[in-house]
Amino acid sequence: MEKTLQGSGGHIVANITEEQAKKADLGVGKLFLAPIGKLEEQTMIKHYCKICEEEFNNPPKIHVEEKNQEDVADNLVLVERGQYNCQKCNSIIGEYRVFHKKNERGEIGNAKPNDLP
Nearest to 86, CA basis, from 69, 68, 63: 63
* Residue 48 located in a structural domain: yes
| Number of domains comprising the chain | 1
34 Rama sector, left if φ>0, alpha if ψ -120 to 50, beta otherwise: alpha
106 within domain boundaries? no
Question: Considering the domain boundaries, does residue 107 fall inside one?
Answer: no
114 found inside a domain: no
Helix (H) or strand (E) holding 61: strand 61-66
* pTM (2 d.p.): 0.79
7 falls within a domain: yes
Domain that holds residue 51: 2-100
Within-domain flag for 56? yes
pLDDT digits (tens, 9 = 90+) for 11-56: 999 999 999 999 999 999 999 999 998 999 999 999 999 999 999 9
Is 42 part of a structural domain of the chain? yes
Q: Encode 51-82: b = buried (16+ Cβ within 10 Å), e = exposed.
A: ebeeeeeebbeeeeeeeeeeeeeebbebebbb
Question: For residue 110, is it within any domain?
Answer: no
